[in-house]
Amino acid sequence: MMNTPHYPHPIIAREGWPFLAGSILIAVLVSFWSLGWSIFFWVIAVFVLQFFRDPARSGSTEPLAVLSPADGRIVVVEQTLDPYGERQALKISVFMNVFNVHSNRSPVDGEVLKTQYFPGKFFNAALDKASLENERNAMVLRTPAGHLVTAVQVAGLVAKRILCYTKAGNTLARGQRYGFIRFGSRVDVYLPLGSRARVAIGDKVSATSTVLADLPASTS
């Protein structure tokens, strides 16, 4: 195991600072007016605090291990078409509810070949159609061994903002933070055929800490 590399963020994600500051300010102001009513606003502030928590993580150093890019629950493990890498692939999807950590981390070491944003709808992210119909941002990586791995941030029913901080030509390390989705969503991972899944539908996973699959030994 090793510490997550390139982690330049504190334990509370910077994306949440304005929301947290605003909710605490409102709660304090309401407290001067009514302690009873302020309880409701302090509960909101606590919810915002937990939603934007962003702890550092450690992950496997196994060379072929694919790490979970998000916290949540596995909702898909299947062979299907990767529309972004234009190939058949093993697809593993992680659904995040509002109580999960929502920062996204790279599943593998690799060079970013492309990123692409797609506007779309806001269906429940647990539904299969969300992968192709919801607002989303796709990132295609090539590992040092030549494997293609696609990670897709997908907006959910109440998620209204997908943030991706990387672009073509950048290099990411496994577990490196590269994006964030606000308020409920999912991440789809497409892996080369021959990859071996190490999770099943219904499993709970943690970003970086959980190994989703093993890449095939050969890229041929």
List, by residue number, the catalytic residues. Answer: 185
- 149 CB-near residues (< 8 Å, 6+ apart): 66, 107, 108, 110, 140, 141, 142, 143, 189, 190, 191, 192, 215
Are 127 and 152 spatial neighbours (Cβ–Cβ below 8 Å)?
no
- 135 CB-near residues (< 8 Å, 6+ apart): 118, 119, 120, 121, 122, 154, 155, 159, 162
CA 74 – CA 85 distance, rounded (Å): 22
Are 140 and 166 spatial neighbours (Cβ–Cβ below 8 Å)?
no
Cα angle 149-153-155, degrees, rounded to a multiple of 5 = 155
